[in-house]
Structure 1
Amino acid sequence: MSIPRGDCRTPFKLTNKGKPSTGYTLTELTVNSPTYNTPDEIMEGWKCHFQQLNHHAPKLDAETARNLELEIDFIKANSMERSANSMERSVVLDEPVTPTQVDKSISKLNSWKSTDIYRTAAEHLKYRGWKLRKTPVTVFNILISEGKVPDMLKTGHLLPIFKKKGSKMDAKNYRGITVLPIILKVLKSLLVERLGSL
């Protein structure tokens, strides 16, 4: 199939066409006691549900909090000692990435998963073609040289996933997952591979 130059919709349509559909649409959602019926109300219900989950973080008793602090201190000390012992090997993290390394990380992405907040799927990177091969390499080398990940790559979709028990119309029977940008997943894969070689 030949896609005309400048046609950016067809690749998205083809990628999304092959993805399996859940085949289920909520017609109502119950969050605690209120029930939401329209699509806009259901979206508001999800928002309320996940905000409530966020505010109900468990309180730690003093002993547990202290033990966590000790573990964090131990991990920091161990990491600093390890990096001091292998300072010459840590240069591996700062080296520019190669097209081969990026291709290898991209090939590890799971296909047919949800698109990210920018409507990009793994398939868009996997089948990008030789003309676009340099773009991810350039982006990753800039991120690695600056040592920072921009906020736009830390933003994702929060999706409710049914726990496969109870009523599908009750929000408490769902857990949330965040779908992060595909580019961030590839960067993570590159860095994990490099850390494994230290």
Structure 2
Amino acid sequence: MNAFLEAMCFAHACKVFDEGKKIPREQLLEILEAGRLTPSSFGLEHTRMLVISNQELKEAMMPFCWNQAQFSTSSEVIVLKSLVADIIAPTEYIRESMKARGLDERYMEQLKGFEEANFKERKDFESWSMKQAYLVASSMVNCAAFMGIDSCYIEGFEREKLEDFLKIDTQKERIALILTFGYRAKEQKKKYRKPLESLVEFRD
């Protein structure tokens, strides 16, 4: 088994972290870098990362997140926010991205055509943007596992209340999901997954 698959076997949804162990800043930056390097639809880099290490703030978030123990015991909480207004073509944000990548107006027209054909309401743009955050999250969680750092995806939260608490401008961005990172307080249970042959169909 290669090293990446070994890391995947190590990974699990950690419910309670060891409160006495903190992630070294250098390794935390590597996890964030894994998120930054993740591909995104049309290369728009929809996702922003709010890193919360302050213990009081982590605990204050808990009432909006089903009082899950991951918040108070984790080393870091990372809130993944998805751009909305800036990704609706045409915008200055998109033009800056185009300039950095050496793209011309044909890119803007292609993007605008894609959006008009697929998205009718603002919530459609939000959904598209939030899907990109899940790609970022997967990269970060897998990178952490590769370094022996535990994590948990958090989808159980009251989005509007948490956005209000964190003073997020919801016209510009929305919370997609939350990640918690740290070190497991106890050994995980044996990982269960269905056998590969029950999930995969080959058409050679």
Is the pair's TM-score, using the shorter chain for normalization, greater than 0.5? no
- Bigger relative CO (Cα 8 Å, ≥ 6 apart): 2
When normalised by structure 2's length, the TM-score is 0.25
TM-score of the aligned structures, taking structure 1 as reference length: 0.26
Work out which of the two has the higher radius of gyration on C-alpha atoms and give 1 or 2.
1
Whichever structure has more strand as a proportion of its residues is 2
